[in-house]
């Protein structure tokens, strides 16, 4: 997974199974983890690695840039990552960039949020709503 440093912005490669280890930025040495922002998934292989190897539950936001409700949910997902980054990994999948991943999970409307536990879909939720409601409905 590519994790951007919140201090200097540099992209750092961190294996999904180590997303809860103590990793530091290769450039500025600032702490990269725990994640306090959503991770953008760049490829189907990265997605598969994240879901398969993550040591914590993964909340995936399936979205697209042209989608108005998706733009409303984006700050709510940021809030969830900040508030619950020690318990759940928040990831974003652009359905336009990764249609194969979206098709695999039958994404027909966006935004759709899927919570994965131990590599298996545990809960699914569609539509724009506040962070607190997303957390309540997905039980995170």
| Whole-number pLDDT of residue 129 | 95
For tokens 């962070």, the residue is 131
Give the pLDDT confidence score for residue 54 in this predicted structure: 86
Say how many CA atoms lie within 13 Å of 89 toward its Cβ. 29
Q: What is the largest CA-CA distance in the chain?
A: 41
Delineate the domains of the chain, giving CATH numbers in brackets.
35-138 (3.40.30.10)
First to last CA, the chain: 22
25 is catalytic: no
Q: Contact 26/12 with Cβ under 8 angstroms? A: yes
Mean pLDDT in consecutive groups of 10 residues from the start of the chain, 140 residues: 82 77 82 79 93 91 97 96 88 96 96 96 96 93
Predicted confidence at residue 79, as pLDDT, reads: 95
pLDDT for 63 equals 97
């Amino acid at each position: 997974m590519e994790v951007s440093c919140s201090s200097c912005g540099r992209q750092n490669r961190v294996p999904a199974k180590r997303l809860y280890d103590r990793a530091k930025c290769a450039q500025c040495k600032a702490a990269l983890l725990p994640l306090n922002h959503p991770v953008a998934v760049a490829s189907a292989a990265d997605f598969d690695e994240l879901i398969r190897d993550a040591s914590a539950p993964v909340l995936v936001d399936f979205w697209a840039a042209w989608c108005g409700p998706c733009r409303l949910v984006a700050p709510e997902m940021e809030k969830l990552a900040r508030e619950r980054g020690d318990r759940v990994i928040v990831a974003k999948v652009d359905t336009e960039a990764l249609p194969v991943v979206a098709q695999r999970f039958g994404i027909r409307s966006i935004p759709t949020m899927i919570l994965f536990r131990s590599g298996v879909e545990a809960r699914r939720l569609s539509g724009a709503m506040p962070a607190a409601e997303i957390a309540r409905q997905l039980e995170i």
